[in-house]
Amino acid sequence: MTAHPTDLAKQAANAAPATLTLAVEDMHCGGCLRSVERAAMRVPGVDSARASLAAKRLTVTYDPAQAGEVALIEALGRVGFTASLMDSAKQDRGDGRQNYLLRRVAVAGFAAMNIMLLSVAVWSGESGDMDPALAALFRWLSALIALPTVVYAGAPFFSSAYAALKGRRLNMDVPISLAIVLATGMSLYQTMLNTEQVYFDAAVTLLFFLLVGRYLDETLRVRARGEAQNLLSLQNGIATVIDPDGMRRQVAANALRPGDRLLVAAGERVAADGRVVSGRGQIDQSLITGETAPASVETGTQIYAGTLNLTRSLEMDVTAADDATLLAEISRLMLAAEQGKARYRRLADRAAQIYAPAVHGLGLATFIGWLAFGATWQTALTYAIAVLIITCPCALALAVPAVQIAAASRLFKRGIMVKAPDGLERIAEIDTVVFDKTGTLTLGKPQLIESECISDDVLASAAGLAAASRHPYSRALVAVAERRLGAVQPTSGIEETPGEGLSCGDERLGSAEWCGVETGDARGSRVWYRRGKEAPVCFRFADGLRPDAAETVAELKRRGFGVALLSGDRQAVVAQVAAEAGIDTWHAEMKPAGKIAWLEERAKEGRKVLMAGDGLNDAPALAAAHASISPASAADISQRAADFVFQGAKLGPVAEAIDTGRRAHRMAFQNFGVAAVYNAICVPLAMAGYVTPLIAAIVMSSSSILVTLNAARLAGGGRR
């Protein structure tokens, strides 16, 4: 990316089309796909727009002289999609590697099938009347197909094995490469001598099955990585800058500098840290503090990037932007905590450490043993190759990824996304579940309570007013009215006075003061409605438990998990929620560092903790826990830190994730068991020289299929 300035100028003059990628949230169906593409195409200067449902991204080519990311993000915003620019450095989902493997799977598959066809002819004509010249021709044809295939399709294994050997380590790819190279080289030599011990089929079939395993593993990684990048880019919004001369212009949030003056419209997220210089209103700070009640701000108040401006537009001076914001700082803290998790060694890697030396040892022992007993070096080598192929670590190369793919797709159908590939292994080991309160155990959104005391008539009128506002209380009110009365149409002619309330004719909805109600109770969680001189009606709001919270906690306890509640909220509130959910162990008024300390204490006691949390304040704890899960409503950063993200209002997915993790773990061990039994039977036979490499390859393949079918059982069961 170091184009010379004159080159750039030349490009601009020629109006060379530029390409950018946007992450688009909430794109779930074919209809969304079309709306997104159409909205982007309507922006002047856009040449083409192509959305991907799988990646939740939109790729646009446009004329940089006419269009830009700001215009595109705004156009998508108008049709109801939140889009954000992908950093060009971060937009690689790594599907290049996926395609690299898929190409090799295709080539190896083609070669394996054709060589197998030729081999079947040769082997079946072996004892009969097949013309030896024809058999030789078939062997040479096999060689012709096999050699380029091994060079091309074997590259991923060879390069990995070479890198491992260079670092003086052993990995699974070393025995794999050795087996493939030896089998191919040996077969070529035998073909030249025109003998029967030719095993190109074994080498290429082996390669094909191993590549399928690699490809499945990579698919899961790509999906997880893509989702993580989309979440990360959500911080890259656009912001309105007011220049000193009063002109307003739109810039990308990561181009803001301290000292810029920003206009934050109602309903917009604040793009940088700063101080309010004019205007007063309310902002939703739940992303930073986890507190759901909106906070009032006025001139001089410090506000943070990522908070949501609820009521009226504010002007602010930027004090810190881009990488210097509190949001970015917390993100860095979290990354540091994540380093600890990197120490976790995956099951397959741990197995490889024991397996690889054993395989080499057995292969070498077979070769030397047969030489010692007076066999020719060709025979000894053939038997050694059979041992290497028989012991080929398919259970490790294929079984574990197959189980993980099956488990991930099972969870995906139930609204749970697996973000860390090794998360499934870690969640299987946990014995304690720790919940955060706001947004995790509770819904994190104010709910209208005691709504049954309010008459339909009053509710309908109040909801008609509330429909015009985006205040959380208004939304909760409309939600209840829609549940009870059907669709709510906003009353026409509504005026909103930000921070106070709504009015329409003689109807008023808002604070006690706004409705002229005398009340001694100044607590903020209530809204009043008054029509003319009629008696005012009070709507009360509270943050409710998730509908199945108590049930899920009881279920977890029944299965013998320790359950605890950690919250930053006040003692009384936490005690009440703990009692409602049936949690005996709870701690209130905890800071993020306190949560980490608590988790570390548990870790010292030898307990493995699953942390379920959502707020930004939970992010470091999520990263520090043995495994973690976040609701989809959580702060972006928490979702990034978590191993799992679940959707919907229910808490049941937490139990589901643990359950599936444990089943996947059991199944991985079953698969290791299958592999162990098969090795125990076949390895002695191979060492004794009863197994030719062809039979070895067929037996090995069938054990792979067995193991994959076993894993597929996990993916069963429909959508819930």
Partner 1 sequence: MTALAWLIPVALGLGALGLAAFLWALKTGQFEDLEGASYRALEDEPPGDETGRN
Q: So which residues are the catalytic ones?
A: 436
- Which of 25, 45, 52, 158 binds partner 1 (CB under 8 A)? It is 52
- Looking at the Cβ atoms of 174 and 222, the one nearer to partner 1 is 222
Taking the least distance from each CB to partner 1, the nearer of 146 and 316 is 146
Separation of alpha carbons 514 and 663, rounded Å: 57
Q: Is 155 in the site for partner 1 (CB under 8 A)?
A: no
Is position 99 an interface residue for partner 1 (rule: CB under 8 A)? yes
**Which residue lies nearer to partner 1 by CB, 55 or 180?**
55
Question: Which residue in the set 30, 300, 374, 716 belongs to the binding site for partner 1 (CB under 8 A)?
Answer: 30
Pull the structure tokens for residue 240. 């309105």
- Which range in 99-107, 179-187, 321-329, 391-399 contacts partner 1 by CB under 8 A? 99-107
Cβ closer to partner 1: 111 or 711? 111
Least distance to partner 1 from the beta carbon of 108, Å? Answer: 10
Token duo for residue 384? 């050694």
Report in angstroms how near the CB of residue 415 gets to partner 1 at its nearest. Answer: 16
| Minimum CB distance to partner 1, residue 551 (Å) | 33
Q: From the CB of 208, what's the least distance to partner 1, in Å?
A: 13
Packing angle between helix 652-687 and helix 549-558, nearest 10 degrees?
40
CA R_g for the chain: 32
Residue partners of 504: CB distance under 8 A and separation at least 6? 464, 465, 491, 492, 493, 494, 495
Q: Which is nearer to partner 1, 74 or 555 (CB)?
A: 74
Nearer to partner 1, 141 or 603 (CB): 141
The one among 8, 9, 12, 34 contacting partner 1 by CB under 8 A: 34
Helix (H) or strand (E) holding 379: helix 377-390
Which residues in the 597-616 window bind partner 1 by CB under 8 A?
A: none
- Out of 55, 86, 468, 616, the only residue in the binding site for partner 1 (CB under 8 A) is 55
Instruction: Pick the stretch among 102-110, 375-383, 419-427, 476-484 that binds partner 1 (CB under 8 A).
Output: 102-110
Site for partner 1 in 328-357 (CB under 8 A): none
Q: Report the DSSP pairing between strands 432-436 and 562-566.
A: parallel
Contact at 8 Å (CB) between 161 and 176? yes
Stretch that binds partner 1, among 81-89, 94-102, 241-249, 570-578 (CB under 8 A): 94-102
Q: What is the C-alpha end-to-end distance of the chain, expressed in Å?
A: 48
Minimum CB distance to partner 1 smaller for 138 or for 473: 138
Contact region for partner 1 (CB under 8 A) — 95-103, 184-192, 420-428, 630-638?
A: 95-103
Q: Does 58 bind partner 1 (CB under 8 A)?
A: no
Question: Which residue, 33 or 554, is less far from partner 1 as judged by CB?
Answer: 33
CB 238 within 8 A of CB 251: yes
Question: Does 41 help bind partner 1 (rule: CB under 8 A)?
Answer: yes
Is residue 390 within the footprint of partner 1 (CB under 8 A)?
A: no
In the bound state with partner 1, the residue whose beta carbon lies nearer, of 222 and 327, is 222
Cβ atoms of 37 and 81 closer than 8 Å: no
**Residue nearer to partner 1 on the CB measure, 70 or 102:** 102
Of the ranges 34-42, 205-213, 216-224, 445-453, which one interacts with partner 1 (CB under 8 A)?
Answer: 34-42
Task: Provide, rounded to whole angstroms, the least separation between the CB of residue 713 and partner 1.
Answer: 24
CB nearer to partner 1: pick between 129 and 452: 129
Give whichever of 51 and 480 is closer to partner 1, judged by the CB atom: 51
Tell me, letter by letter, the H, E, C secondary structure of 600-613.
HHHHHCCCCEEEEC
- Residue closer to partner 1 (CB basis): 48 or 66: 48
Main-chain dihedrals φ then ψ at residue 574, nearest 5 degrees: -65, -40
- CB of residue 314 to partner 1, shortest distance in Å: 36
Q: Choose, by CB under 8 A, the member of 1, 29, 89, 535 that binds partner 1.
A: 29
Min separation Cβ 53 and partner 1, Å? 4
Shortest Cβ 211–partner 1 spacing (Å)? 14
**Rounded (5°) CA angle 65-66-67:** 110
User: In this structure, are residues 612 and 629 in contact, taking their beta carbons and an 8 Å threshold?
Assistant: yes
Shortest Cβ distance from residue 121 to partner 1 (Å)?
A: 10
Strands 314-320 and 273-278 come out as antiparallel
Shortest spacing between CB 664 and partner 1, in angstroms: 24
Long-range contacts of 492-498 (CB under 8 A, 24+ apart): 494/465, 494/468, 496/468, 496/469, 498/266, 498/281, 498/282, 498/311, 498/312
53 binds partner 1 (CB under 8 A): yes
The residue range among 49-57, 284-292, 305-313, 598-606 that interacts with partner 1, by the rule CB under 8 A, is 49-57
Residue 599 makes CB contacts below 8 A (sequence gap 6+) with: 434, 609, 611, 621, 624, 625
* Candidates 96-104, 413-421, 575-583, 648-656; binding stretch for partner 1 (CB under 8 A): 96-104
- Minimum CB distance to partner 1, residue 113 (Å): 7
Q: If binding is defined by CB under 8 A, does position 102 make contact with partner 1?
A: yes
In this structure, the number of other CB atoms found within 10 A of the CB of residue 532 comes to 8
Tokens of 469: 């506002």
Q: Strand ranges (DSSP E) for 378-450?
A: 416-418, 432-436, 442-449
Tell whether the torsion through CA atoms of 32, 36, 39 and 42 is positive or negative: negative
Does 413 engage in binding with partner 1 (CB under 8 A)?
A: no
- 408: CB partners within 8 A, 6+ apart: 220, 223, 418, 424
Residue 540 phi, psi dihedral angles, 5° rounding: -110, 145
Task: Say if CB 423 and CB 644 are below 8 A apart.
Answer: yes
* Torsion of Cα atoms, 355 then 157 then 388 then 376, to 10°: -140
User: What is the torsional sign of CA 510, 516, 521, 522?
Assistant: positive
Among 63, 74, 92, 95, binds partner 1 (CB under 8 A): 95
Asked if 421 and 224 touch (Cβ cutoff 8 Å), the reply is yes
Piece of the chain touching partner 1 by CB under 8 A; list 41-49, 380-388, 396-404, 634-642: 41-49
Residue appearing with tokens 């646009």: 60
Q: How far is CA 67 from CA 22, 63, 405, 448, 593, in A?
A: 14, 6, 41, 44, 46
Q: What are phi and psi of 360, to 5 degrees?
A: -65, -40
Residue 631 Cβ, how far from partner 1 at the closest point, in Å?
23
Could you list the beta-strand ranges (E) of 224-309: 238-242, 248-252, 261-264, 273-278, 281-284, 295-297, 302-303, 308-309
For partner 1 (CB under 8 A), the number of binding residues is 28
Q: What character string, x for contact with partner 1 (CB under 8 A) and - otherwise, covers 103-142?
A: x--xx--x--xx--x-------------x--x------x-
SS3 115: helix
E-only strand ranges, 149-271 = 238-242, 248-252, 261-264
Residue of 10, 38, 248, 345 that binds partner 1 (CB under 8 A): 38
- The minimum distance between CB 148 and partner 1, in angstroms, equals 12
Looking from the CA of 444 toward its CB, the CA atoms found within 13 Å total 27
Q: Is 42 in the site for partner 1 (CB under 8 A)?
A: yes
> Which one of the spans 38-46, 380-388, 627-635, 658-666 is the region binding partner 1 (CB under 8 A)?
38-46
List of residues contacting partner 1 (CB under 8 A): 29-30, 33-34, 37-38, 41-42, 48, 51-55, 95, 99, 102-103, 106-107, 110, 113-114, 117, 131, 134, 141, 145
